[in-house]
Amino acid sequence: MKKLLLNIITFIAFALAVTPAMADWVLEQGPASYPDLPKDHWAYEAVTFLTDKQIVVGYPDGYYRPDQKVTRGEFSTMVIKALGLYEKDVPQIFNYKDTKTHWADRNIQVASYYGLVKGYPNDIFKPNDFVTRIEALTIVLNALSPENIDSEQAKHFVSIYSDYSEIPDWALIQSGQAQMLGLVYNTPGHETTLEPMRHATRGELARFIFNMMEAVKVVPSDKIKDELPKAKIAEPKKADGFILDNVYYDEEYAVIPEGTVLPLTINKCINTKTAKEGETFIARTPFNFVTREKYVVIPIGVQIDGKVHKVERPHRFIQNGYMALTTTNILDDKGNPDMKIVATLGERDADMRIIRNDPYLTRTRYNVVRGQNMYIHKGQRVNFVLLEPLRVKIFDNNTDI
């Protein structure tokens, strides 16, 4: 039988994952020894994360006591642990009269050196005084480099609270900046009040620190920025395979340009005379797709589940058979549908998916076959043409904070 040319047009798009405010942190199971902190508690997420990082600890009896007050010495210790400064050696340049024999003296010195905390007049620190909510917000804000605002702008941000007039003058601008950066946390039932002068609790401070750790990745203060762990770039996986010599790099990503041809295999014969709309098929990557440097951008064995979207029967002696194929989802090489929705690349909106946090092939559309009794053999390689750039994260930047 005369072989006819198969014209296959594929729409494939790749994307970057969108992460909500807290999604960058992978929360591990919290300790079962906190019977006073059930999973539905408002502080559970933050306390669980901070406990896992050994930033906060429970009491010897196994309780966390989220409603207990915290001293200035304790909070100084919590903050420098959260910022990775706990082991830092700093000069003893702050001669606080009331901390020399205090258990937290070294931690207070570190926090003071990095501009996180300040003492009072007459060289005292008051390490055993309980920290207030406004003091705590000021301390976590000192780890950041917020946008400069004036008093009127600050009032605009904090005027959502019915008690904003209770904010002391020295903390007005800092309060506005803290609100602007999302550092403030209000416990359930207290959403309309800031309660600036109330002593903060262990649960509230866990939320403040959690929010600070998110913000410091974006707007750290100059001193803190110099101490943050440098990004570690992991070497991409290398292998032999089908070389895509037009791939270029964009920071962490390899980009396969529009128009690139990707040969894929089809698992069954699809015939315009017998195919039915809704009939399923599977396409698979027959080898690794690699860059000139042999970096793997699409691994072998990636599976695409699809179906016949539309079919028209051919007429005798006229090459007018028609099929349109579309894929519905993607699986890993073991057939596991380990996927989640991500945003699209560029301005197009589509249903995108990634596998194991790395973008691979996603939905394909408009695979069109025309001709008299057109068919695709089982195991046949079919050329799929990219109609949009394909973006794959191959460099992995990691930091410890």
- Statement: residue 339 has pLDDT above 60: no
State residue 281's pLDDT score.
74
Distance in angstroms (rounded) separating the CA atoms of residues 223 and 77: 18
Any idea which of 42-46, 93-97, 317-321 has the lowest mean pLDDT? 317-321
Q: What is the CA angle 116-101-51, rounded to 5? A: 50
| Dihedral, 193, 41, 207, 167 alpha carbons, nearest 10 | 10
Give the pLDDT confidence score for residue 366 in this predicted structure: 36
- Per-residue pLDDT, 324: 60
Pairwise pLDDT comparison (98 vs 367), residue with the higher score: 98
Amino acid at 229: P
pLDDT at 357 over 50: no
CA distance 23 to 385: 34
Whether the model clears a pTM of 0.85, i.e. scores above it, the answer is: no
- In this predicted structure, which of 78-87, 204-213, 355-364 has the lowest mean pLDDT? 355-364
Domains contained in the chain, CATH given: 44-216 (no CATH), 242-398 (2.40.128)
- Residue 385: pLDDT band (50, 70, 90) is low
> Residue 49 pLDDT more than 80?
yes
pLDDT digits (tens, 9 = 90+) for 124-180: 999 999 999 999 999 999 999 998 999 999 999 999 999 999 999 999 999 999 998
DSSP summary character for residue 18: P
Better-scored residue on pLDDT, 255 or 190: 190
Query: pLDDT per residue over 193-251, tens digit each?
Result: 999 999 999 999 999 999 999 889 888 998 998 887 665 556 778 888 899 888 888 77
Query: What's the confidence (pLDDT) of residue 332?
Result: 39
d(CA 353, CA 330): 8
Residue 327 has pLDDT above 80, yes or no: no
How far apart are alpha carbons 194 and 347 in whole angstroms? 40
Quick one: average pLDDT of 66-94? 93
Least trusted range by pLDDT, from 267-271, 273-277, 304-308: 304-308
Q: Which is more confidently placed, 310 or 341? A: 310
Residue 264 contacts residue 380 (beta carbons within 8 Å): no
State yes or no: pLDDT of 323 exceeds 70: no
Most confident residue range from 67-81, 329-343, 361-375: 67-81
pLDDT averaged over the chain? 75
pLDDT for 17: 23
What confidence score (pLDDT) does residue 33 get? 63
So what's the pLDDT on residue 69? 97
Residue 308 vs residue 120, higher pLDDT: 120
pLDDT value at residue 26: 34
**Higher per-residue confidence, 140 vs 92:** 140
Tell whether the model's pLDDT for residue 257 goes beyond 70.
Answer: yes
With 70 as the cut, is the pLDDT of residue 30 above it?
no
Residue 183 DSSP label: -
**Is the CB of residue 332 less than 8 Å from the CB of residue 285?**
no
